[in-house]
Amino acid sequence: VDEPGLCSFTFPALVDRNPVVLSVSSDGNAPMLARLLRSRLELMLPANYGRIAQLLGELRGPVAERITDPAQRLRFWEDLVDGPVAELVLAGREAEARTHITAVLARTAGVRGEVWLVGAGPGDPDLLTIKAWRLMQKADVVLYDRLVAPAIVDLCRKDAERVYVGKRMAEHSLPQQDINALLVSLAGEGRRVLRLKGGDPFIFGRGGEEIEALAEHRIPFQVVPGITAAAGCACYAGIPLTHRDHARSVRFVTGHRRDGAVQFRGDDFLDEEETLVFYMGLVALPDICRGLIEAGRDPTTPAALVQQGTTARQRVLVGSLASLPDIVASHDVKAPTLLIIGGVVTLHQKLSWYEGGASD
């Protein structure tokens, strides 16, 4: 195969999703290019793609019997390969897919809408999961938060309707109940709705409340995890959250309370070998640092504030519980920020690797 001059045929590069097979050939001119294209195609085709083809093969006879109008049949197939049924098969929920097909066939009408609650990660678009990206290409309408970077929203299907639903502390463009109601009504219209949230939907993201509303209305949904800010910011700041020399555990804490108060009761936060990560902690940062010292933490405990982690504007301010509030006050800090407290912060100086950001 490496001597094209001696060959009377060429071997293409294959993407095998049996019974679906794609082959890429450069007719022997550029095997490397064919391999590169193949690896890109591999990423675009989920592993279960072949199962969809097998299922469609099984259904051909029954569908032809049931839907005799060719145009209607074509629409049925189109909805099937690009709708909730394919999603169910890709998610490994084939039994549900079959039930769904039976119901759709029975009424030979359109399919129900669905909501995909998707974590978009902390900012860098390269940190999206393949599943998130795939659903972003399929959704008819996208509801997104302020924390989702415009570059990520841009990756959604070009003709998808985009709805900004805001969310900044104490300034919600749409109250949570209205967001829940909007999801229910859009899916009720039969639309495929992408609910795109910063980080991970289940970590300080109120994703649970949104899918509770969907479950109550019997709207089908899927949830796609995302890289949460703690994981993304810590990695890009070179702060291994549970480095064995410094920590045995890590705790994610909200720095924002409804009543505005931050309290540290008893010895709950005194474990020197536990890394603390505060989300939404910028406003209360002086209270958090003071509160921890008053509760008994050593004022020299290392602490870092990561601003706009994983983006080109990332910046890391490093100090201690005693010094960080003044350091932060003397910089023009921009949200979102994440506060990391514990011995692991000392590793930042040695392990910082991300060139997109600055360190002070």
Ligand X SMILES: C[S@@+](CC[C@H](N)C(=O)[O-])C[C@H]1O[C@@H](n2cnc3c(N)ncnc32)[C@H](O)[C@@H]1O
x-marked contacts with ligand X along 56-95 as a string, rule CB under 6 A = ----------------------------------------
For the annotated catalytic residues, the residue numbers are 145, 167
- Residue-level length of the chain: 360
Determine the interface stretch with ligand X among 65-73, 184-192, 227-235, 293-301 (rule: CB under 6 A): 227-235
Q: Which pairing describes strands 274-279 and 249-254: parallel, antiparallel, or unpaired?
A: parallel
Distance separating alpha carbons of residues 277 and 269, to the nearest angstrom: 11
x-marked contacts with ligand X along 319-338 as a string, rule CB under 6 A = -----------------xxx
Q: Does 228 bind ligand X (CB under 6 A)?
A: yes
Phi, psi at 307, each rounded to 5°: -95, 135
Q: What is the CA radius of gyration of the chain?
A: 25
Q: Does 204 bind ligand X (CB under 6 A)?
A: yes
Q: Where are the beta strands (DSSP E) in 212-357?
A: 221-224, 249-254, 274-279, 302-307, 315-320, 337-341
Count of residues interacting with ligand X (CB under 6 A): 22
Among 31, 84, 113, 122, binds ligand X (CB under 6 A): 122
Determine the interface stretch with ligand X among 75-83, 97-105, 179-187, 307-315 (rule: CB under 6 A): 307-315
Closest CA to 27 of 40, 13, 17, 39: 13
Residue nearest ligand X by beta-carbon distance: 199
Phi, psi at 170, each rounded to 5°: 60, 10
Cross-strand pairs, 195: 117, 143
Q: Does 203 bind ligand X (CB under 6 A)?
A: yes
Taking residue 208's Cβ as centre, other Cβ atoms within 10 Å add up to 11
Q: Does 308 bind ligand X (CB under 6 A)?
A: yes
Determine the interface stretch with ligand X among 48-56, 175-183, 265-273, 308-316 (rule: CB under 6 A): 308-316
Contacting positions for ligand X (CB under 6 A): 122-123, 147, 197-200, 203-205, 228-229, 233, 279-280, 306, 308-310, 336-338
